């Protein structure tokens, strides 16, 4: 498959990250297979894909913590192979697994992380109050990290990554493992940063997260970019506006699918359900019922990035 | 947090400062972490010499001195003979403690070294920071131990004050080697216990700590020769009560420990950098 051209991002904007033919190889295994993308200042950029797609490896290369095997990469106009520490000092990184110090208190974690950047005690004293308020952890200031819930730890890790007022905040799977409420609180915090113009780069395998937070994203699978663009443009290009999900029972789905295959723009038959992509979902469902096919359950919803991924790879994100 | 206050890291963070003082920032973290255990460090720093001096220095010492009329090994009272060795042991063990489990903690248990690296510190700076914090603890441990030895009348001359910087230096040299070893450990897996039993314990027993190394048969004496503790003890005795050492051997003791330290630090620097960028 030919490499995709870099999709233009906001014009006349400073490019914070530019990757061309970016490659990472471990022995015989190619984790990232020559991908191109760029991230503009103030943009919220996502890397969407299933586990093992190469998102985290890409993330580690653009946080200047992992050397690339090939291609060109500039972060904040610098080559990370030559200026790794300088670049890292100007980024904010939220790793997939929290690496907070459990022996230090909440405010001490923020303080000591700020000290790694050489920030003064005076600056940090004020900044810590600000960050605790942002992370809604003011009442946990003197708590040990182990006393925090999973969502609180993630918020603290994000707050910690903001201590140096980073030029780009990079978040690797920020809400994995969190309950729905904690995810929404976190999204709210990230959305506020986005509103403030902070450049965000997010890897996720949750399509709703990508849709909520990303202005533009790349869909990755097996180390390659399958598609890139805004969530809306990807859905418009690779899916129909609405999707009808119908279940007739796993033993009947295939047989029924043959009878209703003319309905809608396209159809995917999954082991547990049939997906019908249509311009008008309710009309498509009415057509199915009119044919005498009564599903056990039915759902009409708008098309999502999950559908885009299914179209591009033939697999769902959780496969 | 409002956008109006957002200066941006390029304006806020001085990368030249990090390049210059990064090791100190890493050390600041380790010392802050260490202070969470200050009661244990103080209790061990004071309790360890008190127990050793009471049991071996006074207990065993009185027995030996009675049978030798106060002219035991090296012609001095037994307490004076073992005091430099105990001080050297405390220096080596105390420094080692701060470069073994904390390194596994940093790489594996809490991965805090990766947080430091993501913030712009290099592997070399993290390794140096760990070493600076270990030396900081050693300053306390050795000084307290020395003061207690002095209180027990283990030294006759103020030249024994030289033991404080010298044993701190030797402890650091040994710790560099142990830090390099620790950097290779993916997880503890009992390796530290094995090292404790089969490296540290023999070193303690066969380095002329409780008796002169020359009393051992040549087939075992080599354990002492390669042991950092023997070199640290010999130098300690030289400054403590004029234990006879030739200039050549003085150079050998310092040279051996310095080489160990440099080699350990170089290996640790490299391994820290490799693991953080892997």
Q: What is the pLDDT of residue A190?
A: 87
Give the tens place of pLDDT for each residue, B52-74: 888 887 777 777 877 777 677 77
Q: State the Cα angle at A124 between A118 and A126, rounded to 5°.
A: 155
pLDDT digits (tens, 9 = 90+) for B76-96: 888 889 899 999 999 999 999
Q: Distance (Å) from the C-alpha of residue A218 to the closest C-alpha of chain B?
A: 24
Contact B28 A130 (CB under 8 A): no
Alpha carbon distances (Å) from B5 to A127, A136, A162, B73, B168: 10, 19, 12, 71, 46
| Interface contact B101, partner A, CB < 8 A | no
pLDDT at position A318 is 54
Q: Which residues of B89-117 are buried (b: 16+ CB within 10 A; e: fewer)?
A: bbbbbbbbbbbbebbbbbbeebbbbbbbb
- Which pLDDT belongs to residue A12? 61
Give chain A's mean pLDDT: 90
pLDDT tens-digit readout, A173-190: 888 878 888 888 888 888
Whether the per-residue pLDDT at B14 is higher than 90: the answer is yes
Token look-up 């609405």 returns A242
Interchain contact, B18 vs A115, CB within 8 Å: no
- Whether residue B251 has pLDDT greater than 90: yes
Residue B157's pLDDT band (cuts 50, 70, 90): confident
Does A131 sit within 8 Å of B1, measured CB to CB? Answer: yes
Q: What percent of chain A has pLDDT over 90?
A: 72
Highest mean pLDDT among A8-17, A272-281, B125-134: B125-134
pLDDT reported for residue A5: 38
Which pLDDT band holds residue A2 (cuts at 50, 70, 90)?
very low
3-state helix/strand/coil string of chain A: CCCCCCCCCCCCCCEEEEEEEEEEEECCEEEEEEEEEEEECCCEEEEECCCCCCHHHHHHHHCCCCCCCEEEEEECCECHHHHHHHHHHCEEEECCCCCCCCCCEHHHHHHHHHHHCCCCHHHHHHHHHHHHHHCCCHHHCCCEHHHCCHHHHHHHHHHHHCCCCCCEEEEECCCCCCCHHHHHHHHHHHHHHHHCCCEEEEEECCHHHHHHHCCEEEEEECCEEEEEECHHHHHHHHCCCEEEEEECCCCCHHHHHHHCCCCCCEEEECCCCEEEEECCHHHHHHHHHHCCCCCCEEEEEECCHHHHHHHHHCCCCCC
Chain A residues with beta carbon closer than 8 angstroms to that of B7? 165
CB pairs under 8 A between A and B: 121
Q: Which candidate in B5, B31, B113, B119 is best for mutational testing of the A interface (most A CBs within 10 A)?
A: B119
- The span from the CA of A104 to the CA of A204, in Å, is 29
pLDDT attached to residue A146: 92
pLDDT, one tens digit per residue, over A80-106 is: 999 999 999 999 999 988 899 999 999
Residue B2 pLDDT > 70:
no
ipTM, two decimals, is 0.88
Residues with Cβ within 8 Å of residue A173, at least 6 apart in sequence? A56, A96, A203, A204, A205
Residue of chain B whose alpha carbon sits nearest to that of A134: B1
| A201-211: average pLDDT | 88
| pLDDT, tens digit (0-9, with 9 covering 90-100), for B193-234 | 888 888 888 888 888 888 888 888 888 888 889 999 999 999
Tell me if residue B22 falls in helix, strand or coil: helix
pLDDT at A11 over 70: no
Mean pLDDT of chain B, nearest integer = 90
User: Which residues in chain A have their CB less than 8 angstroms from residue B24's CB?
Assistant: none
Grouping H, G, I as helix, E, B as strand and the rest as coil, residue B268 is helix
Domain boundaries along the sequence of chain B: 14-276
User: Model confidence at B25, in pLDDT bands (50, 70, 90)?
Assistant: very high
* Least reliable range by pLDDT among A244-253, A297-306, B167-176, B205-214: B205-214
Nearest CA of chain B to the CA of A291: how many Å? Answer: 58
**What is the tens place of the pLDDT at every residue in B115-133?**
999 999 999 999 999 999 9
Helix (H) or strand (E) holding B80: helix B78-97
The structural domains of chain A, ordered by start, are 15-229 (3.40.50.300), 240-303 (3.30.70)
Quick one: which of B149, B152, B139 has its CA closest to B239? B149
Q: How far is B258 from chain A (nearest CA, A)?
A: 30
**21-50 in B: which are within 8 Å (CB) of A?**
21-22, 25-26, 28-29, 32-33, 36
Whether A78 and A248 have beta carbons less than 8 Å apart is answered as: no
3-state secondary structure of B157: coil
Beta pairing, strands A242-247 & A168-172 = unpaired
Q: Is A58 exposed, middle or buried (0-12, 13-18, 19+ CB in 10 A)?
A: buried
Least confident of A54-68, A158-172, A249-263, B107-121: A249-263
B2 → chain A, closest CA residue: A196
Higher-pLDDT residue of A209, B25:
B25
Across the range B270-276, mean pLDDT stands at 96
């Amino acid at each position: 498959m030919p490499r995709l051209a870099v999709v233009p991002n906001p014009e006349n904007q400073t490019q914070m990250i530019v990757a061309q033919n970016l490659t990472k190889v471990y022995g015989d295994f190619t984790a990232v297979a020559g991908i191109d993308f760029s991230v503009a200042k103030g943009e919220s950029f996502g890397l969407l894909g299933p586990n093992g797609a190469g998102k985290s490896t890409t993330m580690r290369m653009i946080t200047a913590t992992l050397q690339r095997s090939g291609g060109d990469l500039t972060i904040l106009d610098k080559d990370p192979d030559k200026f790794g520490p300088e670049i890292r000092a100007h980024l904010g990184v939220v790793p997939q697994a929290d690496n907070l110090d459990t022996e230090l208190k909440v405010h001490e974690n923020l303080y000591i992380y700020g000290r790694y950047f050489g920030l003064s005690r005076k600056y940090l004293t004020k900044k810590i109050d600000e960050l605790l308020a942002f992370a809604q952890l003011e009442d946990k200031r003197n708590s040990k990290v182990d006393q925090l819930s999973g969502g609180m730890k993630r918020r603290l890790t994000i707050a910690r990554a903001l201590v140096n007022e980073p030029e780009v905040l990079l978040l690797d799977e920020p809400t994995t493992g969190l309950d729905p409420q904690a995810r929404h609180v976190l999204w709210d915090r990230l959305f506020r940063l986005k509103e403030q113009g902070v450049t965000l780069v997010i890897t996720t395998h949750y399509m709703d997260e990508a849709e909520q937070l990303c202005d533009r994203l790349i869909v990755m699978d097996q180390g390659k970019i399958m598609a890139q663009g805004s969530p809306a443009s990807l859905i418009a290009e690779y899916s129909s506006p609405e999707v009808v999900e119908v279940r007739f029972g796993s033993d009947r789905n295939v047989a029924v699918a043959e009878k209703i295959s003319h309905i809608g723009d396209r159809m995917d038959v999954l082991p547990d359900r049939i997906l019908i992509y249509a311009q008008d979902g309710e009309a498509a469902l009415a057509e199915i019922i009119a044919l005498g096919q009564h599903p056990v359950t039915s759902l009409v919803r708008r098309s999502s990035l999950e559908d885009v991924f299914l179209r591009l790879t033939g697999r769902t994100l959780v496969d | 947090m409002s956008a109006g206050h957002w200066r941006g890291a390029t304006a806020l963070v001085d990368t030249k400062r990090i390049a210059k003082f990064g090791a100190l920032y890493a050390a600041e973290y380790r010392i802050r972490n260490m202070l969470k255990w200050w009661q244990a460090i103080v209790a061990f720093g004071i309790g360890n010499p008190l127990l050793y001096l009471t049991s071996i220095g006074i207990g065993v010492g009185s027995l030996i001195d009675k049978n030798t009329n106060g002219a035991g090994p090296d012609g001095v009272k037994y307490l004076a003979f073992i005091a430099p060795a105990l001080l050297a042991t405390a220096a080596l063990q105390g420094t080692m403690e701060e470069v073994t489990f904390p390194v596994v903690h940093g790489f594996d248990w809490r991965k805090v070294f990766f947080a430091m690296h993501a913030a712009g510190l290099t592997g070399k700076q993290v390794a140096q920071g760990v070493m600076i914090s270990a030396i900081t603890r050693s300053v306390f441990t050795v000084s307290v131990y020395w003061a207690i030895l002095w209180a027990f009348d283990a030294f006759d001359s103020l030249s024994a004050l030289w033991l404080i910087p010298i044993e701190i230096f030797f402890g650091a040299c040994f710790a560099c080697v142990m830090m390099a070893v620790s950097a290779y450990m993916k997880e503890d897996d009992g390796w530290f216990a094995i090292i404790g039993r089969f490296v540290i314990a023999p070193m303690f027993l066969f380095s002329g700590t409780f008796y002169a190394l020359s009393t051992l048969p040549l087939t075992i004496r080599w354990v002492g020769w390669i042991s950092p503790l023997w070199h640290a003890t010999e130098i300690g005795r030289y400054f403590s009560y004029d234990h006879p050492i030739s200039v050549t051997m003085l150079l050998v003791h310092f040279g051996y420990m310095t080489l160990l330290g440099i080699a350990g630090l170089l290996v640790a620097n490299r391994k820290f950098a490799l693991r953080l960028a892997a």
